[in-house]
Amino acid sequence: MKLATHATEPMALLIGVLAEYGANSPIFRRKLLDVSTEALGINMNTEDFPELKRIVEPAGDTAGWFGYESNPPLGQRLSVWFYCDSSTGKGGVKDRLRKAGFTDKEFCENGDHVSAFCKAEDSTGDAEWFAKVLNALNE
């Protein structure tokens, strides 16, 4: 497999979305990358996303994560996870997603988390989709 040609493109796109929210500090960059065998994404630190922190009400310093997931039953998809520590936080996230035009089929609740997702083949623009989700929670 020859992945080098496109290996940095998803990361560049994710960093570009992050830069739109002014989260460019060197300290943040050290904590930003979150990679596993099934995911590549960016952690959203509460210091860089104060409005997100207020709505989500996370238990720790990370309000959420956004990036790409590859899960065999679900396929490849763009995802944004919000790490809520209360039912108020979960309700606030879901309300804002609905107000932004997301249907209940485009997000789900999983324990203390709410996630919004888009199948890779349904994305008309990855950066635009990530921005739509994040803007819903940062306005």
Q: Decide if 131 contacts 123 (C-beta within 8 A).
A: no
Strand partners of residue 70? 76
Query: Which pLDDT value is given to residue 18?
Result: 76
Give residue-wise pLDDT tens across range 16-43: 787 777 765 544 454 666 766 578 888 9
Give residue-wise pLDDT tens across range 44-98: 989 888 999 999 999 999 999 998 888 767 778 899 999 999 999 999 999 999 9
Helices 9-19 + 126-137 axis angle, to 10? 30
Q: Which residue has the higher pLDDT, 13 or 53?
A: 53
Give residue-wise pLDDT tens across range 106-133: 999 988 899 999 988 888 888 899 999 9
Q: Which domains does the chain have, with CATH numbers?
A: 9-137 (3.30.1460)
CA angle 88, 94, 95 (to 5 degrees): 85
DSSP character string of 91-102: HHHHHHHHHTT-
Q: What gap in Å lies between CA 80 and CA 78, rounded to an integer?
A: 7
